[in-house]
Chains A and B, each alone.
Chain A
Amino acid sequence: MSRLDADNEARARRIMARYPRPRSALIPLLHLAQAQDGYVTSEAMRHIAELIGITPAEVAGTATFYEMFKFHPVGRYLVNVCTNISCWLMGADDLVAHAGATLGVSPGGTTADGMFTLETVECMAACTEAPCLAVNYRYRLRVTPEDFDRLVAAIRAGETAEEIPLHGSLARVDQSIPEDRMAGVVPPEAARAAPVWLAARGSDLQGES
């Protein structure tokens, strides 16, 4: 229902300015939309299409390819339990079952209070620390059933607010390149010559061998 608000639109423009072509900012912009509303709304996709200069269908074509983007409201906390090989070997199925029992939902479901959505996911690159899960992409490793229950209690009690933001917001630090430090975006059609610094060196790139 909502377009990017003024702050986010300004951020979107800053992000787009870092790429040679605005469309390259599409995924970061979709994350921005998801951070704003907790999921990617149709209105936001239309707005992003306008900003980038493509059709909403093209935005959706890209957006729906990627698993992290949700197009319907999900819980404020998205619990992703890894069930790929290394975690499975170490009991991930039991952890999923336990999580489902604790939350009262099966994978894909959202708790009635809208707090949690439980999902099973593929390898999270924490294989040695199996079984593992992530809540809004903040990792928890070698998770026991007790760990899980404590985590849920802590989230409900608001104790994790510092570490775990609400669903949608990913990194809380944006790269920001100061104008005077920026070397400059180089679009493909702009420079047919070598970068100036390289030309100044008159260097043969291939070296001696």
Chain B
Amino acid sequence: MATNAYVAHAPGYVDNDGPKIITGRFGYEDSHTLARFEATGGYQGLRRALTMTPGAVHDEVRAAVLLGRGGAGFPAGVKWGFLPPGRYPYYLVVNGDESEPGTYKDRLLMERDPHQLIEGCLITCYALGLSQCFLYVRGEMALAQERIARALDEAYAAGYAGRDVGGTDFSVDVVLTWGAGAYIVGEETALIESLEGHRGMPRLKPPYFPAAIGLYGQPTIVNNVETLSNLGWIMVNGADAYRRYGSDSSPGTRMFAVSGHVRRPGVYELEHGVTTFSELLYGDSFAQGIRAGHELKAFIPGGGSAPWFFGEHLDLALEARPVGAAGSMLGSGAVVVMDETTDAVEAALRLVRFFARESCGKCTPCREGVAWLARILQRIVDGRGRPSDIDLLLDISDNISPGPYPVAAQATRALAAVPFPPRQTTICPLGPSAVAPIVSTIRRFRSEYEAKITRRDSIAVRAAS
């Protein structure tokens, strides 16, 4: 019953004809209610899980090769296995802080299908023997907070959450909590700091995963909203059914938000690892091409932190490995499309300014370096650039992310791509993220920088039509 059209009550969501694992209920206006959820197979996955041993549930998730959807793409089943045996209590922290530029999917999942997420939380707690779950929703997302609060109240009342879940002795509390506006809190250790009531500043690695030392110093699993939203379906249909979708290394489906200069921007659920950027940007069921009369200049394949892609990358599949090999990352399923009217320097400024504004300030290279980068870019855009600024931008970038930065643009110059993530002098990847747009644009559109610096007429500055 796919309409291949926007769904009014799920703004931006396009109900296309691909397989649906997590957006299946978006068509219903009341998809956020328990009644609709139960009427459409809701909590069956939890019921099934409760008939199995916790270990068997974990095995099922491991077998499904469910890749994390928060950005790093780490298999959930494997990450779960990092919990050090016996060091109870363990906690679950759900990452609903979606703020990566271009990313729009977790908010939809929380607003449209909160029970699906709650079911995923409960399955995780059961599989791993977790003692308490904290569902951390981005501060600005008032509607998502309301929907989840209501859904949790319904779930508690109906016996799906809290004491004696589903009539068994399995008991765990799922607690809604929320932030107050800080992109960096999406980084999992910063998220934990925030949940402890501190400034949301990332912790030092190692340990590389909070599974070792997390909330209150205890072993903690952090998973993304979309990741967990898959679990109900997997428990009902099994890992084999899940792996029938998508590619071998990236099974299942994934939500992608296509924004910018396309005819039909929108959020699409599509088969993971199979669909190509070309299909996503130009396909009839998807974004339907660059807006009329214009052509592709560049696109960002995985959110504001990702190095940019260009026309020559369109045939890559939406899968972590090939995208990484080509010098970028699939990140958080955010594809930002820019046509030829886009001023590359200003676009870079937007992103770098964002990272400067969102730097937590904990480490020197990011706090001072990224702010410096943003100010140089602003100067260039304002027509006060200096000829030495381009090299300065690159050298500052090198002091934040030393060595050859992974630049997709290098492919056109027959340079080998460098694997992601880059090296960093910083504590977390936020600082290096600011380097991505700079290196991408200087490599590919250096002349635009030079034109601004020498005050010659630059190409159309106005991005909007």
Residues of A within 8 A of B (CB): 18-21, 23-28, 30-31, 52, 54, 61-63, 65-69, 80, 83-86, 88-91, 93-94, 122-130, 134, 136-139, 141, 170-178, 180-188, 190-198, 200-201, 203-209
Known contacts A125-B138, A174-B149; decide if A27 and B129 are in contact (CB<8 Å): no
Whether A62 contacts B54 by the Cβ 8 Å rule is: no
Known contacts A89-B338, A128-B12, A204-B55; decide if A25 and B182 are in contact (CB<8 Å): no
Whether A27 contacts B180 by the Cβ 8 Å rule is: yes
Contact bitstring B124-150, A, C-beta under 8 A = 1, else 0: 000111111000001111110110111
Whether, in the assembled complex, B21 has its beta carbon less than 8 Å from a beta carbon of chain A, the answer is: no
| Additional A-B contact list (7), CB under 8 Å, known A85-B336, A89-B259 | A20-B132, A24-B197, A31-B139, A66-B139, A125-B141, A129-B104, A171-B143
Residues of A within 8 A of B265 (CB): 127-130
Interface residues of chain A: helix, strand, loop or mixed (majority): loop
Pick the contact of A129: B12, B157, B334 (CB < 8 A). B12
Interface residues of chain B: helix, strand, loop or mixed (majority): mixed
Instruction: Across the A-B interface, give the 4 residue pairs with the lowest CB-CB distance, nearest first.
Output: A91-B464, A207-B55, A66-B180, A26-B197
Whether, in the assembled complex, B53 has its beta carbon less than 8 Å from a beta carbon of chain A, the answer is: yes
Whether B178 contacts A27 by the Cβ 8 Å rule is: yes
Pick the contact of A124: B140, B180, B199 (CB < 8 A). B140
Residues of A within 8 A of B196 (CB): 21, 23-24
A127 to B12, CA, bound (A): 9
Whether B180 contacts A127 by the Cβ 8 Å rule is: no
Whether B99 contacts A122 by the Cβ 8 Å rule is: yes
A-B Cβ contacts below 8 A, count: 285
A170 to B338, CA, bound (A): 34
Pick the contact of A84: B131, B215, B350 (CB < 8 A). B350
A-B contact pairs, 9 of them (CB 8 A): A68-B181, A125-B98, A126-B104, A171-B143, A173-B153, A186-B89, A188-B217, A197-B171, A206-B81
Whether B195 contacts A24 by the Cβ 8 Å rule is: yes
A205 to chain B: closest CB distance in Å? 5
Pick the contact of A207: B58, B102, B163, B259 (CB < 8 A). B58
A65 to B179, CA, bound (A): 11
Which residues of B in the span 252-273 have a Cβ within 8 Å of any Cβ on A?
A: 257-261, 265-267
Whether A128 contacts B169 by the Cβ 8 Å rule is: no
Pick the contact of B464: A62, A89, A139 (CB < 8 A). A89
Q: How many B residues touch A, CB cutoff 8 Å?
A: 103
A61 to B194, CA, bound (A): 12
Whether A86 contacts B180 by the Cβ 8 Å rule is: no
A204 to B83, CA, bound (A): 13
Known contacts A126-B104, A197-B170, A206-B58; decide if A180 and B163 are in contact (CB<8 Å): yes
Whether A205 contacts B149 by the Cβ 8 Å rule is: no
Whether A127 contacts B464 by the Cβ 8 Å rule is: no
A205 to B61, CA, bound (A): 13
Contact bitstring B176-202, A, C-beta under 8 A = 1, else 0: 111111110000000000111111110
Pick the contact of B259: A128, A137, A173 (CB < 8 A). A128
Whether A194 contacts B336 by the Cβ 8 Å rule is: no
Contact bitstring B87-118, A, C-beta under 8 A = 1, else 0: 01100000000111111101100000000000
Whether, in the assembled complex, B206 has its beta carbon less than 8 Å from a beta carbon of chain A, the answer is: no
Whether, in the assembled complex, B351 has its beta carbon less than 8 Å from a beta carbon of chain A, the answer is: yes
Residues of A within 8 A of B182 (CB): 65-67
Residues of B within 8 A of A125 (CB): 98-99, 103-104, 106-107, 138, 141
Residues of B within 8 A of A180 (CB): 163
B21 to chain A: closest CB distance in Å? 20
Residue of A nearest to B360 (CB): A65
Residues of A within 8 A of B175 (CB): 18-19, 175, 177
Whether A88 contacts B171 by the Cβ 8 Å rule is: no
Whether B176 contacts A175 by the Cβ 8 Å rule is: yes
A88 to B12, CA, bound (A): 17
Residues of B within 8 A of A24 (CB): 177, 195-197
